[in-house]
Amino acid sequence: MASTTSSLDIRHSTCPHDCPSACALDIEVIDQAKIGRVRGSKQQSYTAGVICAKVARYAERIHHPDRLLYPLKRSGPRGSGQYARISWDEALDEIAMRFDQAERDHGAESVWPYYYAGTMGLVMRDGINRLANVKKYSRFFGTICSTIARAGFAAGTGKIAGVDPREMAKSDLVVIWGTNAVATQVNVMTHATRARKERGARIVVIDVYDNETMKQADIKILLRPGTDGALACGVMHVLFRDGYADRDYLARYTDCPDELEAHLASRTPQWASAICGVPVDEIESFARAIGQTKRSFFRLGHGFTRSRNGAAQMHAALCIPAVTGAWQYEGGGAFFNNGAIWRLDKTLIEGLDSIDPATRRLDQSKIGRILTGDPVALRDGPPVKAMLIQNTNPVTVAPEQALVRRGFARDDLFVAVHEQFMTETAQLADIVLPATMFMEHDDLYYGGGHQHLSVGAKLIEPPGECRSNHQVIQGLAARLNAKHRAFELTARAIIDATLQNSGRGGVDALQAELWRDLQPDFRAAHYLDGFAHPDGKFHFKADWSRVALSHAGLDGPWQQMPALPDHWAVIEQVDDAHPFRLATSPARSFLNTSFTETPSSRSREGRPTVLMHPADAAKLDVAEGDAVTLGNQRGETTLNAKLFDGVRQGVLVAESIHPNHAHAGGSGINVLTGADPVAPHGGAAFHDNKVWARKAASPNPSPVAIKRS
């Protein structure tokens, strides 16, 4: 749909990037191949006219001179950067031939289609699963983003849905916990600051460093990484002790309030403070603020999902509004994600009717172990011999980077990468295919952080010979004799049928509406007719073996997880050899590595930096700007020190993810992060690392020298 403002042709779409906001966009279309400014739609009530700077300047990205334009075949040693242009037919024939060869020699499960959230469009992101399901290739278990936190939320409420996030604007106390929203989901701030402006609400920010969101807070709570559960218990202790618990609500809506109260008797603010580092008086006053404010809104974020105890921590924080009964009030309750509200039939998109449950599912986070032959990670099945990778850059973003790189260096592994830029993963591929960006194809979107369903139609022609993910999957299916009705349909026809099959009308109607608000009504969103567990109660006592998450098996030490909210000391503890805890929090301008090619993002983020408390720096004889090497049992990487008293002593924060080649020695930050299984369903604990630090022997490359090879 288009509208015209003076001479500008304004078209509408949805931001596809890996961000809960899925912003509604107004895009200036200059001609059939060119866009101008991108703005947030003022009409869509969650976006409310605000988008992040990196997408506002999207023309820099979509018209970037380094975009991949033609299929390429490796012509030199792996990693040499030597490629020759080939035709699409040659490229797809080669991939199909190598997949068939792997299947003949090692079985269908030796082929592993691998993808993630470089686009959140349902057809372009998830269509690769249809190929895997029809061909009985190894299935993909996506754990890198939110699996850990989702388990914690569902353990309490029974499903992944919460209060309308727009209700933050009607809250009197907005608690932003575990998300640097200014950097990663700017719309949270739109609604939270509206509450402050219009109602005098206070904003509380809880995080491991004084980030850009915390700078806007009325109440700042700076805690040690992986200790949120302790803080939550200390707060609930005060709520029970001082008469702020809503006894009527607890009796009606929760499973075991008396047991919880008894359990919390020993979880005093003093106990919590010793673990999380937050002074006792701050815990007491935060608890009082919650207890005295009926409309307390807990916006819980992805920070919880980056810790080995993240599920238990998310559950502990989520218990607080159940103790006070804040769920009853407009502007009160909690929200993490709206995964349960969409109810879309994705059979066509993913080929769900072709799944063989006996086919193994390989955990995305364990790619390093999988490619280096770890039998546990391979689930005792055949080695992975061939891959197609779409929408992700595991050589830079996956944990255990040393293993990942060793795996991709294998001579006996065939890798095809379908990408927009020559990422560090594409540089190790045998075949590289050029991919469209979201304005160059049709797709269907919803936002994890809100409630709008929308179609993003193709607005301009792609450059060169770029093809969409769906076109590539179609081309491979034809060559691999993979049969499914959706391989014969266009992306738009799949969207239309998916909507129809889900009782949501068709694609034309949705596109004409621009978006559709699917927010459940007030009673449902606030669980006023009961929570989603069979007993209708909020569960203080988590049953981790039965958390409702589709198709996720149990993993990690789930039997050791605390049932009642607690501090679960399973995080990597510092020791004499590793005296620092490291969090790899998201950099404002990169969105993982999606924007590391964009000039203004690179210029804003500069060199890889580690935030270090001045007292820690003094002990290491490190001055501002010095190169510092961090290391642990998994590897070493080098960053530049930024002295910063907005972290607790002993805590380091590296805003990420810079390209590996931006670090001296070429190992990126994820050389330090682990992929050991996180309970209860797997995942990667990116903020949960013990490390040592020392002044580096050699400096990092200058920002000018950080150029793509």
**Residues of this chain that bind ligand SF4 (CB under 6 A):** 15, 17, 19, 21-23, 51-52, 55, 186, 591
Which CB atom, from 49 or from 520, has the smaller least distance to ligand SF4?
49
Rg (alpha carbons) of the chain, rounded to whole number: 25
Q: Which H or E element spans position 126?
A: helix 122-135
Judge whether 519 and 525 are in contact, CB under 8 Å: yes
Distance in angstroms (rounded) separating the CA atoms of residues 318 and 320: 5
Least Å distance, CB 54 to ligand SF4, is 6
Which residue number, 385 or 452, has a Cβ lying nearer to ligand SF4?
A: 452
Nearest residue (CB) to ligand SF4, 212 versus 330: 212
Tokens representing 48 are: 């409310």
Q: Report the nearest approach of ligand SF4 to the CB of residue 151 (Å).
A: 24
The residue (of 15 and 564) whose beta carbon lies closer to ligand SF4 is 15
Closest CA to 544 of 681, 345, 349: 681
CB burial class (10 A; 0-12, 13-18, 19+) of residue 649?
Answer: middle
What is the smallest separation between the CB atom of 55 and ligand SF4, expressed in angstroms?
Answer: 4
Q: For 689, phi and psi rounded to 5 degrees?
A: -135, 130
| Helix, strand, or coil (residue 677) | coil
What residues are paired with 636 via a beta bridge? 631
Nearest distance from residue 623's CB to ligand SF4, in Å? 35
CA dist list (Å): 664 to 139, 258, 597, 598, 652? 36, 55, 19, 21, 19
> Cβ 60 to ligand SF4, closest distance in Å?
14
CB closer to ligand SF4, 277 vs 301:
301
Helices (H) and strands (E) in the chain, counts: 23, 26
Closest distance of CB 456 from ligand SF4, Å: 12
Min dist. Cβ of residue 21 to ligand SF4 (A): 4
Min CB(23)–ligand SF4 separation in Å = 3
**Residue 239 CB, nearest distance to ligand SF4 (Å)?**
34
* CB nearer ligand SF4, residue 23 or residue 486: 23
Closer residue to ligand SF4 (CB): 51 or 312: 51
Q: Which candidate, 57, 9, 53, places its Cα nearest to that of 31? A: 9
Query: Is beta strand 580-583 parallel, antiparallel or unpaired with respect to 689-695?
Result: antiparallel
Nearer Cβ to ligand SF4 (22/326): 22
Closer to ligand SF4 by CB, 15 or 275: give it: 15
What distance in Å separates the CA atoms of residue 340 and residue 550, rounded to the nearest whole number? 11
- The DSSP call for residue 428 is G
Tell me the C-alpha to C-alpha distance, in Å, between residue 696 and each of 591, 622, 700: 27, 9, 9
Nearer to ligand SF4, 55 or 95 (CB): 55
Pair 579, 589: CB distance under 8 Å = no
CB closer to ligand SF4, 384 vs 591: 591
Give whole-number Cα distances, 50 to 44, 57, 194, 447, 562, in Å: 10, 13, 13, 15, 40
CB of 517 to ligand SF4, least distance (A): 17
Instruction: Work out how close the CB of 350 gets to ligand SF4 at its nearest, in angstroms, rounded to a whole number.
Output: 23
Cα–Cα distance between 236 and 275 in angstroms, integer?
15
User: Is the CB of residue 457 less than 8 Å from the CB of residue 27?
Assistant: no
SS (H, E, C) 483-552: CCHHHHCCHHHHHHHHHHHCCCCCHHHHHHHCEEECCCCHHHHCCCCCCCCCCCCECCCCCHHHCCCCCC
Q: What distances in angstroms separate CA 493 from CA 6, 300, 348, one per listed residue? A: 33, 36, 10
- Nearest distance from C-beta of residue 591 to ligand SF4, angstroms: 6
Per DSSP (E only), the strands in 87-181 are 111-115, 139-141, 173-177
Q: Which is nearer to ligand SF4, 16 or 368 (CB)?
A: 16
Smallest distance, ligand SF4 to C-beta of residue 88, A: 30
Q: Which is nearer to ligand SF4, 23 or 672 (CB)?
A: 23
Residue 15 or 214 with smaller CB distance to ligand SF4? 15
Of residues 123, 100, 125, 118, the one with CA closest to residue 110:
100
Nearest to residue 239, comparing CAs of 305, 302, 315, 319? 319
- Residue 390 CB, nearest distance to ligand SF4 (Å)? 19
User: How many whole angstroms separate alpha carbon 293 and alpha carbon 295?
Assistant: 6
* Collapsed DSSP state (helix, strand, coil) of residue 8: strand
What minimum distance in Å lies between the beta carbon of 184 and ligand SF4? 7
The count of other CB atoms within 10 Å of the CB of residue 106 is: 16
Q: Which residue lies nearer to ligand SF4 by CB, 38 or 547?
A: 38
